[in-house]
């Protein structure tokens, strides 16, 4: 009988196999991952269904009931969205998750002049109770769990849902589902806010109070780490700031006199799931552990109050425009991580969502990914099947420890609301995003089909195109009809009551429910609150030095630096670029990363304010005398907003200002944009160093041709 091999024996054998090469790997979270984990590395995670719920919030988990298949979707009009929902429900989807258009998110009716390019794009347009009734037509709201991703215009949207159910014959007590209602992460990363932080936090408390009293089956808030993940946060940052947000909301509700055990059981969470498979599994287990610790510390007594229940969504930022069928594989891997991590519900992104809203074809594949996992893969047969993995347990403990350090810093410095106001969480996330982009551009983080194994020729895939002008016309017609038929005096009285209640201590949701019943529109309810609260605005301030530090010593990067210097000498100043965000899309990761990288390369970069109209962007470009404008697009307004910007500058006699576009733009739209005057288009996965070289060519500098940069640098 031979002696049992020791760790020293394994190390000697492994070193021999890899010739002494170090196999340790450091993650973006600063966690050193070893090539081998043993029992000595693993802690005791307890049992499923018992605190701290590391292994799951239910003892039986999926063996008792599988996760809810909940696809996030909204398409242009309420009619089209309703038809899509009903098709999906018939095909096996179990819950609804509503995506609203950006005009709705930002509290504008479809007839508002600021949202001409946004109506019906990236979600469904909801202006009134009438739209909400159509959205849920023939969908029994006493039986269907409904999740609504809404934060800025959360008051009118939730009020419309309540009245739509009421007029369907469903009482508030019967409604089940979730409203996102997470404003802190909006100020941090997503930016679809309306009001300043203080009244926004009050709105959250009002909703928690109202739903606790009237809607016992409804989750009053979904505390979202997803948008932090999409903005570039590491797993540790997403964990820490999401749990800290939840703690802040709980403290806010308690400060109004609410008993923590009365509302805490209806708090839910929402995490993004990326491509580091084991890290994502451990992240969900760590989140449950951390939340138990936080709620126990706040004095919660009921075990349900300490359970972290979560929805998850596969990553949008991991989807690629290039070789897009690889996205099916990515989504499957991420969906498996979410389910093996113990999520309560899941949305799987479609393969074409890097460039457009999903088609029926792509949405079916995304939905069936979950059905196959539930019905064929055996995942639902065993509770926490990765529990006891030495690696998983060690990762979970590392994440808990590192996230807790940040949570303690938040608390020490005055809580999450103050931290968000001070800006340091946003800065940390933007540094992580810039670092990630540099690693991708350098090929250190491999993305198959983008920076490795790239196809010579890309076949275009069919994408969904929304006729924005047609949708807007239909919405305006319905608004006009509703306003003509309502009791105007009663409606105005209800709107005045909202403004007065906002100035005093009225419950905003209760007042909005009354106004919705009187057929006040979303924009009117939002305006009534804005009269008391004001509208919030902020200026992006991208980080500096992260991208440049990652490229130190890189010859192609040095070639771009030399090109910027040459253009600067010719102009007598640095080449000046305005990075513009037009329309109501607040996702600014791409714009901030570009601004950060171009600044490090030596360009004079102006980060334009969010939510500009084409006229405002043109005025800023003209007043700053820029050489080029980079228009960042995510929400499909590019065919409306960018041509208008070009025409305004042309009318001003400044057609010499180059306009380039980046972001989520379907290749089918490239020709339209080029014909409109766009000189460069850079979609998801574009290498920023190569983009900068192209901009220098557009500005007249003799850079090496595209594809010859590496050879010229050498």
Options 185, 227, 311, 426, the catalytic residue? 227
Which residues have a Cβ under 8 Å from the Cβ of 400 and sit 6 or more positions away?
Answer: 286, 289, 290
**Burial of residue 153 (number of CB atoms within 10 Å: 0-12, 13-18, 19+):** buried
CA atoms 192, 198, 200, 205: torsion sign: positive
Neighbours of 440 (CB within 10 A): 17
The size of the chain, in residues, is 714
226 is an active site residue: yes
DSSP state letter for 448: B
CA distances from 183 to 149, 204, 252, 346 (A): 11, 8, 13, 22
CA-closest candidate to residue 243, choices 280, 288, 285: 288
Q: What span, in angstroms and rounded, lies between the C-alpha atoms of 114 and 534?
A: 17
588 is an active site residue: no
Q: Which residue has the tokens 């209806």?
A: 266
- 597-601-606-607 Cα dihedral, nearest 10 degrees: 0
Options 587, 638, 639, 658, the catalytic residue? 587
Options 121, 581, 639, 658, the catalytic residue? 581
Which residues have a Cβ under 8 Å from the Cβ of 33 and sit 6 or more positions away?
Answer: 24, 25, 26, 27, 395
CA-closest candidate to residue 126, choices 145, 144, 152: 152
Neighbours of 445 (CB within 10 A): 16
Contact 159, 521 (CB under 8 A): no
Q: What span, in angstroms and rounded, lies between the C-alpha atoms of 652 and 334?
A: 49
Contact 132, 163 (CB under 8 A): yes
**Nearest 5°: CA angle at 687, between 610 and 571?**
70
Tell me, rounded to whole angstroms, the distance of Cα 600 from its chain centroid.
26
Options 245, 527, 585, 627, the catalytic residue? 585
Options 62, 161, 226, 249, the catalytic residue? 226
456-495 b/e with 16+ CB inside 10 Å = b?
A: eeeeebebbebebeebbebbeebbeebeeebeeeebbebb
585 is an active site residue: yes
581 is an active site residue: yes
Give me the active site residues, please: 72, 226-227, 581, 585, 587
């Amino acid at each position: 009988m031979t002696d049992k091999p020791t760790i020293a024996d394994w190390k000697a054998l492994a070193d021999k196999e890899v010739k002494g090469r170090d196999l340790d790997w450091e993650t973006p979270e600063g966690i050193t991952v070893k090539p081998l984990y043993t029992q000595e590395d693993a802690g005791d995670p307890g049992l499923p269904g018992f605190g701290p719920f590391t292994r799951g919030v239910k003892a039986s988990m999926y063996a008792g009931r599988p996760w809810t298949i909940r696809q996030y979707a909204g398409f242009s009009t309420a009619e089209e969205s309703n038809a899509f929902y009903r098709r999906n429900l018939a095909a096996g989807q179990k819950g609804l998750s509503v995506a609203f258009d950006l005009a709705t998110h930002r509290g504008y009716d479809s007839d508002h002049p600021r949202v001409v390019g946004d109506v019906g794009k990236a979600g469904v347009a909801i202006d009134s109770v009438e739209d909400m009734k159509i959205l849920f037509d023939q969908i029994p709201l006493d039986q269907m769990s409904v999740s609504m991703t809404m934060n800025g215009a959360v008051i009118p949207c939730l009020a419309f849902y309540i009245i739509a159910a009421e007029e369907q014959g469903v009482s508030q007590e019967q409604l089940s589902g979730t409203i996102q209602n997470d404003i802190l992460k909006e100020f941090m990363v997503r930016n679809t806010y309306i009001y300043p932080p203080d009244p926004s936090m009050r709105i959250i408390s009002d909703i928690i109070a109202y739903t606790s009293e009237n809607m016992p089956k409804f989750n009053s808030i979904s505390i979202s780490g997803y948008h932090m993940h999409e903005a570039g946060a590491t797993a540790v940052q997403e964990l820490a700031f999401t749990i800290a947000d939840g703690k802040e909301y709980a403290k806010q509700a308690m400060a109004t006199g609410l008993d923590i055990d009365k509302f805490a059981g209806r708090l839910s969470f929402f995490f993004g799931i990326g491509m580091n498979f084991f890290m994502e599994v451990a992240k969900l287990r760590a989140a449950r552990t951390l939340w138990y610790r936080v709620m126990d510390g706040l004095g919660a007594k009921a075990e349900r109050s300490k359970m972290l229940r979560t929805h998850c969504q596969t990553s949008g930022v991991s989807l690629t425009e290039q070789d897009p069928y690889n996205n099916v594989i990515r989504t499957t891997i991420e969906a498996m991580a979410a389910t093996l991590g113990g999520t309560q519900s899941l949305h799987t992104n479609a393969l074409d969502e890097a460039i457009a809203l999903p088609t029926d074809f792509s949405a079916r594949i995304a939905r069936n990914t979950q059905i196959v996992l539930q019905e064929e893969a055996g995942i639902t047969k065993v509770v926490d099947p990765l529990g006891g993995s030495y690696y998983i347990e060690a990762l979970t403990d590392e994440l808990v420890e590192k996230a807790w350090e940040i949570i303690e810093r938040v608390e020490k410095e005055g809580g999450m609301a103050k931290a968000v106001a001070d800006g340091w969480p946003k800065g940390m996330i933007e540094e992580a995003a810039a670092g990630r982009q540099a690693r991708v551009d350098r090929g250190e983080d491999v993305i198959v089909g983008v920076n490795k194994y790239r196809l010579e020729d890309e076949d275009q895939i069919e994408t969904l195109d929304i006729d924005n002008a047609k949708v807007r016309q239909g919405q305006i017609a319905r608004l006009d009809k509703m306003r003509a038929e309502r009791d105007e005096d009663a409606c105005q009285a209800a709107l005045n009551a909202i403004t007065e209640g906002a100035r005093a201590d009225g419950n905003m949701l209760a007042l909005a429910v009354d106004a919705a019943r009187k057929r006040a529109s979303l924009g009117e309810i939002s305006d009534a609150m804005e009269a008391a609260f004001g509208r919030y605005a902020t200026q992006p301030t991208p980080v500096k030095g992260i991208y440049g530090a990652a490229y130190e010593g890189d010859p192609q990067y040095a070639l771009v630096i030399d090109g910027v210097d040459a253009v600067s000498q010719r102009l007598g100043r640095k080449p000046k670029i305005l990075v513009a965000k037009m329309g109501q899309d607040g996702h600014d990761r791409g714009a901030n990363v570009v601004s950060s990288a171009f600044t490090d390369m030596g360009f004079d970069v102006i980060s334009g304010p969010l939510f500009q109209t084409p006229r405002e962007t043109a005025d800023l470009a003209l007043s700053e005398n820029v050489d080029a404008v980079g228009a960042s697009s995510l929400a499909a307004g590019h065919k409306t907003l960018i041509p208008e910007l070009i025409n305004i500058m042309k009318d001003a006699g400044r057609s010499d200002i180059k306009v380039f576009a980046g972001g989520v733009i379907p290749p089918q739209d490239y020709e339209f944009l080029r014909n409109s005057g766009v000189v460069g288009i850079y979609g998801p996965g574009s290498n920023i160093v190569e983009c900068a070289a192209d901009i220098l060519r557009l500005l007249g500098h003799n850079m090496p041709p595209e594809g010859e940069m590496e050879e010229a640098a050498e």
